[in-house]
Amino acid sequence: MARVNLVRIPYKSGALQMADLVGGQVQLMFAIAPTSMPYVKSGRLRALAVTTAEPSASLPGLPTVAASGLAGYELVTIQCMFAPAKTPATVINRLNQEIVRVLGRADVKEMLFNAGAETVGSSPEQLAVKMKSDMARLSKMVKDAGIRRD
């Protein structure tokens, strides 16, 4: 979207990413909050912006990428749980109910919030709609930018 030419470095883990960023081997990184938050809180890294559409409650005062000048930018990492396609609906529904119940617990919300993650419990149907929407939006972005797999 920004028409910026960056070199993507594939890492095998978030720990290796952070080591290179903190150590100065790379100049910037799009990192997930739970991996980067300890470094931001300790002052070893400086957070520049969040990639969500709205500001993050866990990083008050930090602007979004869109508010920083790249209108329309949004990229959210979603942690999902999946089961084999032929899992009975009754099992899926029970798993979903329990997952949403646990995510709603105050202690779980606080633990995840302190790590930089914000909880959203939804239904399998809502997740499917979100994933399809994101894939369509990102596919268009990749095509418009002329990004190719090497």
**pLDDT, tens digit, for every residue of 44-72?**
999 999 999 999 888 889 999 999 999 98
Nearest to 130 by CA among 76, 49, 61, 70: 76
Q: Which helix (H) or strand (E) holds 137?
A: helix 124-145
State the Cα angle at 15 between 13 and 18, rounded to 5°: 115
Q: d(Cα 32, Cα 109) in Å, to the nearest integer?
A: 17
- Give CA 35 to chain center in angstroms: 11
64-to-1, 9, 13, 19, 70 alpha-carbon distances in Å: 15, 23, 25, 25, 9
The pLDDT of 95-105, averaged and rounded, is 94
Q: What are phi and psi of 60, to 5 degrees?
A: -60, 140
pLDDT on residue 92: 95
Q: d(Cα 38, Cα 81) in Å, to the nearest integer?
A: 25
Residue 32: pLDDT above 90? no
Confidence of residue 118 (pLDDT cuts 50, 70, 90): confident
pLDDT on residue 145: 80
Higher-pLDDT residue of 109 and 150 is 109
Q: What is the mean pLDDT of the chain?
A: 90
pTM for this entry: 0.74
Q: What are phi and psi of 64, to 5 degrees?
A: -85, 160
Q: With beta carbons less than 8 A apart as the criterion, state whether 51 and 64 touch.
A: yes
Residue 94: pLDDT above 90? yes
Confidence of residue 20 (pLDDT cuts 50, 70, 90): very high
